Chains A and B, each alone.
Chain A
Amino acid sequence: MREVTIVGIGQIPVSEYWTRSLRHMAHDALMAAWQDSGVEEVDTLYVGNALADELSDQKQLGALVADFIGQRGIAAARVEAGDASGALALHQAYLAVASGMYDTALVVGVEQMSAALPVEVISATARFLDQEYEATMGATLNSIFALMMRRYMYEYKVPRDAFFAFPSTAHQNAVNNPNAMFRKAIKESTYKRIAMISEPLNMFDVAPICDGAAAVMLCATDKLPVLRHDGPPPVRIAASTVATDAVAVHDRQDPLFLEAAFISSQLAYRQATLNQTDIQLFELHDSSSIMAALSLEACGLAPRGEGARAAAEGLIALDGPAPISTMGGLKARGNPAGATGIYQVVEIAQQLREETGANHISGAQAGLAQSIGGTGATAVTHILTQL
C-alpha cells in the first residue's frame, strides 16, 4: 500500500441553495479542490451522498457528477452510509490510490436537503435506522438520539444542561468560519427554554437541515514530484479506517457505547502510530449533543459517562486538551448529511495548513476526523498529519 496525501481542498458555504442543484454544488466544491491541488489530471471520482434517491430522485451520482465536471469517461462511484457517506467515499478513494490502481482521485461529499419539506427529510433520514424494527415503529433519527440521551442522563446522573457545552462550543467556533451555517454564539438561558424536538433533546441539541458540498483531491505521495507543479503544502492521510455496529440501537451490546466509533478510532491510532495525546484537534460527529458526548468516550478522550461533564469543564474548547468542532462542527457549520465527512476533513487540512484564522489550534500537527452513519452503525475515522 502506498502513502496518500490530500493535495487540494474545496468547499462551498453550508446554506440553503435554491438556485444550485446537486450537480452544481458538487461542481463548485470539486473545481475549488482541483484548482487548489496543482494536479493536472484526475484518474477517478468518488461521490459521497446519502439522500439523493429520496430528495432529488437521482441515482448514478458518480457518472452524473463526473460528466458535469467535464470528466465523462473516468471511473466514478457513489458511496452511501447515511451521514457517514462522505467519509466512507474518502476511505474508498484512499484505498483506490493506496492500492496503486490510481494516482489521483477526487472525492466530493454533496447533499441537498433544504428544498424538501422538513417532514420529507425526517422520513428520509429515518432510513438511517433499522426500517423493520425502528422506523416502522414510529422512530425518527432524533427520537433514537433522545432515547440514548435520556438513558445516559439516568445511568450516569448527568443533568441535561451539561450538554449545553456542545452546541455552545460549536456555535462559538462557527463565528469565525465563513462557510458555516450559523455564525452566532448561543446563550445558556436560550438553551434552557428552547422547544423540545424529542424529549430530552431540544432544537439546540441537533444539527440543522441544510445543503452543502466539500471536496478533496488525493494524490499518491510517491507521485507528487511528477504530477504536481505547485500548490499548498500536502497533508498526509496517516490513517483511514472503517468499523460497523448493529444498525438498531436495541441490538447493540451496550446502547450507550459507540462500538464502531471505538473500533475505528483504535484502528486509526494504530495505523497512524499516534496516541490521542499526539493529536491536537478532533472533528467528531456532533449530529446531536448525545452523539458528541458518546464520540468523545468512544475515541478515548473522556471516560465512559463523563463525556458531557468533561465538555462542560472545558475539554473541547479551542484551548482545551481535546478541541472538537473547531470550525463549528455538525451543529453550527451544518450537517449536510453525505457532505459532512468531507467538510470535517477539509477543516482539519485547513488547520494543518494554518488557514483557520482566529480558530487556529496552535501547534496543530495532527488532526482526527470521525464521521458516523445515523446512530452509530458505520464509523469512519481519518487521521491527517503534516507531511
Chain B
Amino acid sequence: MHIAQNWRLKAQRYRLVGEVCEHCGAKIFPPRDICPNCSHSAKESFEFSGRGEVYSFSALSETAEKFQRFRPYTMALVKLEEGPLVTAQLTDVEPDKVKIGMPVEMVTRRLMEEGNEGIILYGYKFRPMLDKVA
C-alpha cells in the first residue's frame, strides 16, 4: 500500500474510529458509509472502546513479504464489545495461552516495515486485558 493510502486510514488504525448509524444505532467498524444493518447512509463518527474478546485465533509462521521479520505471530478475529468483528494481531501473549473468549484490549504497535527505505506502519493490535490478568 502507498503512503497516502495508509495515511487516510490513520483514525481507524490509531484510535479505532468507526461509525454509528443514525437510523438503527448499529456501531460500524471499519467505517463504510452505508450501514450494513439497515442500508441507510452512516456518516457519524464513533470511537470504539478498544475492548473485546477473542473470537478466533491462529499462530502462523508463513507470512507475506512485509511481515517476514515479525514471524511468528498470532492473527485473531476480535469481537469488539460494541459488536463488530475486527481482524488483528494479538500481542504480549504466547500463542498457547490464547483462548476463544479471552478478554483483550487494543494497543498501538508496529505492524510492518517496507524494507530499509520504505514506510514503517503502526496500527492496532490486541493484548490480554490487563485488569483481567491475575
Q: Is the CB of A147 within 8 A of B77?
A: yes
CB-CB under 8 A from A101, the residues of chain B are none
Interface residue? B26 (CB, 8 A) = no
Task: Give Cα A137–Cα B111 distance, bound, in whole angstroms.
Answer: 7
CB-CB under 8 A from B73, the residues of chain A are 138
Could you tell me the dominant secondary structure of chain A's interface residues? Answer: helix
Q: Is the CB of B67 within 8 A of A138?
A: yes
Residues of B in contact, count (CB < 8 Å): 38
Task: Give Cα A248–Cα B111 distance, bound, in whole angstroms.
Answer: 19
Q: Is the CB of B75 within 8 A of A137?
A: yes
Contact with A along B37-68 (1 / 0, CB 8 A): 00000000000000000011111111111111
Answer whether A151 and B77 are a contact pair too, CB < 8 Å, given A137-B111, A250-B84, A251-B36. Answer: yes
Could you say which of A55-63, A196-204, A220-228 contacts chain B? Answer: A196-204
Task: Give Cα A120–Cα B63 distance, bound, in whole angstroms.
Answer: 10
Q: Is the CB of B85 within 8 A of A140?
A: no
Q: Is the CB of A143 within 8 A of B60?
A: yes
| A 117-161 contacts with B by CB, 8 A | 118-120, 122-123, 126, 131-140, 142-144, 146-148, 150-151, 154
CB-CB under 8 A from A196, the residues of chain B are 59, 61
Answer whether A198 and B62 are a contact pair too, CB < 8 Å, given A137-B111, A250-B84. Answer: yes
Task: Give Cα A201–Cα B75 distance, bound, in whole angstroms.
Answer: 13
Q: Is the CB of B65 within 8 A of A120?
A: yes
Contact with A along B72-111 (1 / 0, CB 8 A): 0101110000001111110000010000100000000001
Q: Is the CB of A122 within 8 A of B64?
A: yes
Task: Give Cα A142–Cα B30 distance, bound, in whole angstroms.
Answer: 22
Answer whether A122 and B63 are a contact pair too, CB < 8 Å, given A137-B89, A199-B95. Answer: yes
Q: Is the CB of A154 within 8 A of B56?
A: yes
Report which of A140, A146, A200 forms a contact with B63, defined as CB distance below 8 A. Answer: A140
**Nearest chain-A residue to B6 (Cβ)?**
A136
Answer whether A142 and B60 are a contact pair too, CB < 8 Å, given A123-B65, A132-B5, A198-B75. Answer: yes
Interface residue? B133 (CB, 8 A) = no
Q: Is the CB of B86 within 8 A of A143?
A: no
Q: Is the CB of B57 within 8 A of A150?
A: yes
Interface residue? B24 (CB, 8 A) = no
Answer whether A250 and B85 are a contact pair too, CB < 8 Å, given A136-B123, A148-B56. Answer: yes
Interface residue? B130 (CB, 8 A) = no
Q: Is the CB of B86 within 8 A of A119?
A: no
Task: Give Cα A17–Cα B123 distance, bound, in whole angstroms.
Answer: 40
Task: Give Cα A142–Cα B61 distance, bound, in whole angstroms.
Answer: 11
| A 225-277 contacts with B by CB, 8 A | 246, 248-251, 255
CB-CB under 8 A from A131, the residues of chain B are 1
Task: Give Cα A136–Cα B119 distance, bound, in whole angstroms.
Answer: 13
CB-CB under 8 A from B5, the residues of chain A are 132
Q: Is the CB of B76 within 8 A of A123?
A: no
Report which of A122, A139, A197 forms a contact with B75, defined as CB distance below 8 A. Answer: A139
A sample of 19 cross-chain residue pairs with beta-carbon separation below 8 angstroms, ordered by A number, consists of: A119-B63, A122-B65, A126-B64, A131-B1, A136-B6, A136-B111, A137-B87, A137-B111, A143-B60, A150-B57, A198-B59, A198-B75, A199-B58, A199-B60, A246-B36, A249-B85, A251-B30, A251-B32, A255-B55
Among all A-B residue pairs, the 9 with the closest Cβ atoms: A146-B58, A250-B85, A198-B60, A151-B56, A123-B64, A147-B56, A143-B75, A123-B65, A150-B56
